[in-house]
Amino acid sequence: MPSALILIADGTEEIEFTITYDTLVRAGVKCTSAYVHSEETASKDRMSPPFVQGSRGINILPDTYLSQQAHAPDHYDLLVIPGGAKGAETISSSSPVQSLVRAYLKEGKYVGMICAGSLAALRSGLPKQPLTSHPSVKSQLEKDFDYSEEPVVVSGHLVTSRGPGTAFPFALTLVELLCGEQKRTEVAGPMIFPPGTFA
């Protein structure tokens, strides 16, 4: 069974997190959410992750804290970094996350980034390649990458997307890469997308 590690922090965009998580589960992918703490919460000793408050104030309880050892690429097939300005800043600025991004790609595992989550590509020092993001962070990325405004951009094992409105095609692309085109079709069908949409 394929597996995915989906990162989350205070300020993560709820739509991008939940749609990706939900769609992958529908495809039979085993998903784990991992909390990435900010500098303010780093020193607090907790036995279990706190509720994360998303960008729209919705509380989500992560499965675990992020651990470089426990969440290394030999344990998962996919690493997902959602957006949301505050959450993406916390996640992309995390040196453990940056190390994991490089490690996953080096091991031939997939890394998905959506919205401002694409800042992790820049801060992880990835080489110049096709990429997209939310327009709000385009200026930070377009000099170092071949910037695109397509809804989803696949560059080798790096998959990027634009924002909440592209969360479904982003998630379904990840399903296709992990599980095949037929599984994407099987998952998308019961969701009943209107005719003419991306699915």
134 is catalytic: yes
Report the run of H or E that residue 17 belongs to, with start and end.
helix 14-26
What's the confidence (pLDDT) of residue 197? 84
pLDDT at residue 161 in the model: 98
Give 105-141 pLDDT, tens digit per residue: 999 999 999 999 999 999 999 999 999 999 999 999 9
- Catalytic residue flag (residue 31): no
Residue of 13, 89, 115, 176 with catalytic role: 115
Q: Which residue among 13, 16, 89, 176 is the active-site one?
A: 16
User: Quick one: pLDDT band at residue 198, thresholds 50, 70, 90?
Assistant: confident
Q: Cα(16)–Cα(19) distance, rounded to whole angstroms?
A: 6
Do 85 and 55 meet the contact criterion of CB atoms below 8 Å apart? Answer: yes
Active site includes 115?
yes
Nearest CA among 185, 126, 188 for reference residue 157: 126
Q: What is the side-by-side strand order in the sheet with 152-155?
A: 64-65, 30-35, 3-8, 78-81, 110-114, 158-161, 152-155
Domains of the chain: 3-37+49-189 (3.40.50.880)
pLDDT tens-digit map of 38-56 = 765 554 555 567 788 889 9
User: pTM for this structure?
Assistant: 0.94
Tokens of 198: 């991306």
Q: Quick one: pLDDT at residue 199?
A: 52
More confident residue, 197 or 5: 5
Q: What is the pLDDT of residues 139-182, one digit of tens each?
A: 999 999 999 999 999 999 999 999 999 999 999 999 999 999 99
Q: Are 169 and 198 in contact (CB under 8 A)?
A: yes
